[in-house]
Chains A and B, each alone.
Chain A
């Protein structure tokens, strides 16, 4: 069954049409990239799908069920997790405690006024696994606010991962990063996709990253779908080249 089915989704802010009848289908196991020039509406599209604000029209279905008007929390419970272009973490908590919050919530302990030894041990194991996956094992007791930008991003992705999402949404995971950090994040995303089988939808600016990672690419321009296809098809698409690649290809 199609995991995420977006049907003619639109968002208007006053007279501005930020998203104009965008449709999209993401299959389980897929890695889908969304690209487009600045102001194309990529992040707005993410915000609509993840429930940050409601669409003006159109619908979103997740695992066959209509979720267009559900709250963020309800979408999270159904298996959507996302990161943000500007990293959203808990800066004054340690790396381990950032992950602990996420793991405890995922396991349904969010309201527990105490926690047993056995449960704590299981949660500890899961935190260790996440630390290893995110290459953060040596930094578990460091306050997240003191980490490098790349490591903060890794913490954010690991928190999203702690929810064991059916769909992982990454908004420009390599934004503002140097070459080494970009490389590390790309490697991490590829591992999550290829080896752990996560379904991932990501927004990306860096073309090398996109053509390297994606199974399928959707190109947005001025709120509309300009093209959709495999990296090869997109690279050969003249409309895309004119609107986007022509000016920013490196």
Chain B
């Protein structure tokens, strides 16, 4: 039945993620790095909902990632919101923006679509960069931190306890990923695959193409903004770089490197990217050139990405 996933891989990934804080130190990492893998993994998988499963390339997803980040940060700083309402606020702001902008750009195709997503993305970047009094400008939004999580019967101190925060992020990650998996495996998801595979055929089966691409774009931005909100909480800080187009590019690199035709590929890509970034940047400022080299090698030798290469021959 499963169109895009293998059951065994699901179990393997779940086990790896559940135990990650405990083996991360053994391979030279730390809990916060593990959390960053989750957050960027969620962002890359969200982008891939649109890129890999609808066949539409966006180079502007950082805008919605950043709106989620700023929304959550501002809700905590200015409205004294709790953790969950802050995330909800960030996600709502980004999703509304995505719905409006999506409606304006959905008629563009291919590289033209990618270009307008960059253009709209940069609007938000400059807004965050310039509007000092609200966003903190180039210095970023400081003077706030994530709040302990009130569960009703107990309080989880996700602020001071790294591992508690990791598992909180893992829960949000799991909810988002499960929702995306369900959508992709549903009839709705199959119409998106159909659009990716052959827009003309999909249209002549009665699919209103533009409306479905718009929906896919908004759904994708919804989940990427959840990742953005978590990212702000992780750092207790956000700055305009969370909105800038190089982050959009990095998300695309993660998805392509890991394998954009496989469900978990972007998570693997994000893991490689975040780990490389962490290790290499402690030795040289030019860490991006190393990632660039790895990316070139992956694309050269595994054109379907790391996970795509491991699962060759299967309908992924």
Residues of A within 8 A of B (CB): 50, 72-73, 76-77, 81-82, 84, 88-94, 97, 100-102, 104-106, 109-115, 143, 156, 159-160, 163
Assembly CA distance A110 to B189 (angstroms): 9
Taking the closest CB of chain B, its distance from the CB of A95, in whole angstroms, is 11
Q: Output the nearest chain B residue to A83 by Cβ-Cβ distance.
A: B204
Contact with B186, one of A91, A113, A156 (Cβ below 8 angstroms): A113
Q: Is the CB of B198 within 8 A of A90?
A: yes
Distance to closest chain A CB from B236 (angstroms): 35
13 further interface pairs, Cβ-Cβ under 8 Å (given A92-B315, A102-B205, A104-B191): A73-B203, A73-B207, A82-B204, A89-B198, A100-B190, A101-B191, A105-B205, A106-B205, A110-B188, A110-B191, A113-B182, A113-B183, A114-B182
* Distance in Å: Cβ of B228 to nearest Cβ of chain A: 23
A104 contacts which chain B residues (CB < 8 A)? 187, 190-191
Closest chain A residue, CB of each to CB of B185: A114
Chain A's closest residue to B200 (CB) is A88
Q: Nearest residue in A to B208 (C-beta to C-beta)?
A: A73
Residues of chain B from 183 to 229 with CB closer than 8 A to chain A in the complex: 183, 186-188, 190-191, 193-194, 197-198, 200-208
Question: Given A90-B193, A97-B3, A109-B187 in contact, is the A159-B200 Cβ separation under 8 Å?
Answer: no
When C-beta atoms are compared, the residue in chain B nearest to A90 turns out to be B197
- Give the chain B neighbours of A160 by CB distance below 8 A: 204
Q: Report yes or no: A81 in contact with B188, Cβ–Cβ below 8 A.
A: no
Contact present for A50 and B186 (CB under 8 Å): no
Q: Could you give 21 example pairs across A and B, Cβ below 8 Å?
A: A50-B204, A73-B207, A76-B204, A81-B204, A88-B201, A89-B198, A91-B198, A92-B261, A93-B315, A101-B190, A105-B205, A105-B206, A106-B205, A110-B187, A110-B191, A110-B206, A111-B188, A111-B191, A112-B186, A112-B188, A114-B182
Identify which of B190, B193, B205, B315 gathers the most chain A CB atoms within 10 Å of its CB: B205
**SS class, residues of chain B in contact with chain A:** helix
- Kindly state the separation between the CA atoms of A114 and B184 in the bound complex, as whole angstroms: 10
Contact present for A97 and B201 (CB under 8 Å): no
A101 to B193, CA, bound (A): 9
Binary contact track B25-68/A, C-beta < 8 Å → 1, others 0:
00000000000000000000000000000000000000000000
A113 to B181, CA, bound (A): 10
Size range of the chain B interface in the assembly: 20 to 34
Chain B residues with CB under 8 Å of A113's CB are 182-183, 186, 188
Residues of B within 8 A of A76 (CB): 204-206
Residues of A within 8 A of B200 (CB): 84, 88
Q: Which residues of A contact B183 (CB under 8 A)?
A: 113
Residues of B within 8 A of A88 (CB): 198, 200-201, 204
CA–CA, A114 to B190, complex, Å? 11
Pair B206/A73 contact, Cβ less than 8 Å: yes
Rounded to whole angstroms, the CA-CA distance of A15 and B205 in the bound complex is 33
Bound Cα distance from A204 to B153, whole angstroms: 74
Q: For the complex, what is the distance from the CA of A111 to the CA of B216, rounded to whole Å?
A: 11
Instruction: Report the Cα distance A143→B262, complex, angstroms.
Output: 16
CB-nearest residue of chain A relative to B209?
A73
A97-B190, A110-B187, A113-B188 known; A163 vs B206 contact (CB < 8 Å): yes
The 9 A-B pairs of least Cβ separation, nearest first, read A90-B197, A76-B206, A109-B187, A88-B201, A104-B187, A112-B187, A101-B194, A113-B186, A101-B190
Residues from chain A with Cβ under 8 Å of B188 in the complex: 110-113
Tell me, in angstroms, the Cα distance from A159 to B197 when the chains sit together: 14
Residue pair A93, B193 in contact (C-beta under 8 Å):
yes
